[in-house]
Structure 1
């Protein structure tokens, strides 16, 4: 057998080095399918060799606690593929029909894994059901296995996973509803135990978010994010970036409601600490109350937000001013901004008022007042643009006291003022 495997390997190596350009389109496609089938055949053989090694106790004899550890040393594998190979060997050993399907070209290894997982889950579900009617558990499992192998000719591994979740609807419809109810109950209980959400410590300006939610909770989160995830004309953000911005925006909206529970006896808020000299000169970095450091640009941008509270300290650390009320666009002033601007005032942005910040045209840090004539509503995206010196946009009030925007020269060489034509205005 070893000689045959080595000869096969030599032949395969020669073929892999051969030129492919002489192949016709049909032959090229046929060769691709044939090599894919060959890979599945090799996967079955590899799995059988691993199981034989386990039956002989080779991993333990070589000083390894697990088969995966032994495979790592023998094949120089990383931990994840070593565990995958060990699990695949055990899976195929339990399901002889899947081995045959792989060898016959009726399925590939990914499809076989999904079918095996579905059959294992079905075994658990049938045991919970108790009364199965006229059919036995063995009959139902055999029928499910045959059905899913047949479906593998048309469905991908991902699609087979979904079929596996409702396989009883195909092979034993009279049991499907009860089984689904029990399976969903198990999933929800498992999700409830496994749910979690973590934020890493900042590294190079980024914080990694990691979490798992149950299906119900995830649906609620998606419903909240979806309206904020839609791209707008000229939007060059990736889908992941749009979701990240949407999550931040949802939290900003929650902070604005004033309905979040108090923390430490104070309303939910973000404190930003900036040295007094740096603040008056519009220079220097800032630190949030979570210990994260921010650039001077970010600090100035956050200083415009009516729901973020600055904490200004003198050189000795004494508190000089905590959120001067005249800086905050609240109450009647905020309502007046809503009425005047109708939403984000940036040219033709369609964001509504509740998704905007109150931006100081003359920066509060530079002595600008918190008044209707010195404020303009900007969504988070356009707030960033206005605070970016490289972007080159400027804001001023027109003769009618409506905000207008002067574009940078690369947008309009004459820098003709633009207004938002989307929102209805007073």
Structure 2
């Protein structure tokens, strides 16, 4: 397989160097069709490889919390793309053989293959494997004419074509399958943008969508005739109001030993002079005006930082890694410190580098933030943790993973 992929890569590289401008229009169209077909066939190979790696547990063995997390770091994908890749690999692997054949031949696209696989699974559950195989054949033919959205819509009535006598009985099962897909596909993605902004995207199931509208709609109504905000801005402000209301209830669960809260780091002189910007514990920057407004209704804890950003002193330390000491860890590590992990501070526990049971002190020099997965992984594996330059954590991999055992650091979190 490696040799064949190398030859294919060489052939693609030769095409990339060719002059597309010299081709006639019909040749350009033929080239477009060929590249699309090749893209789908190559996707089939990639999905098979991803599924095999996932089944072997390669990602977890190498210290990642999941195959998606490992792919994100390995292939430099965003997290949503990595999760889609793992999900699609599992979906195609579980589908009838005809789906994999159609994708491997370039007859269907990756998204069409997912639609056909989902439809086949629903038909198989309600009408059996033989009927599902017939449905796959029909859907593959339709894929030559219809995009994934139309194909999915037509797939809801596929039994009318392949098993009319079962169509009515399967309608209920199809609705159940759609509900299951909605539960599977529900997600919210939070992506950082320039200037400290966040981009929200995702898919809500029917119940969550109804809840969101119930709280957002009344808060996003125009406040009066002088309200110049557009609808999108009003919804943004309404969401912020909902978050403030939730924080004020005092009923949110703790995160890492502390109550749910905003943690803002800023300089004292800047705060006093109304000129200092601030940094949230998740690395986002705030304007001086925002910092001043938040400080009007906040508990303020003094902290002393060195020139390289290392925390030298934070309030009064306690025996447990909570309170001021935990906030010091958040300032230093920014989140899970394990290489390649992007888990935020609120998902992390504080780990003693030298275990407490072995006489290790509860101090900043003997602590590191780790998410639940990597906390367990460090305890159960041969990874070593130490503080490197400027007091930041670095991790030494076991010899079987890296014979040179070169120290690794996490580069996902901003440093203060």
TM-score, normalising length from structure 2?
A: 0.43
Bigger RCO of structures 1 and 2 (CA < 8 A, at least 6 apart) = 2
Which structure: larger Rg?
1
TM-score, normalising length from structure 1?
A: 0.42
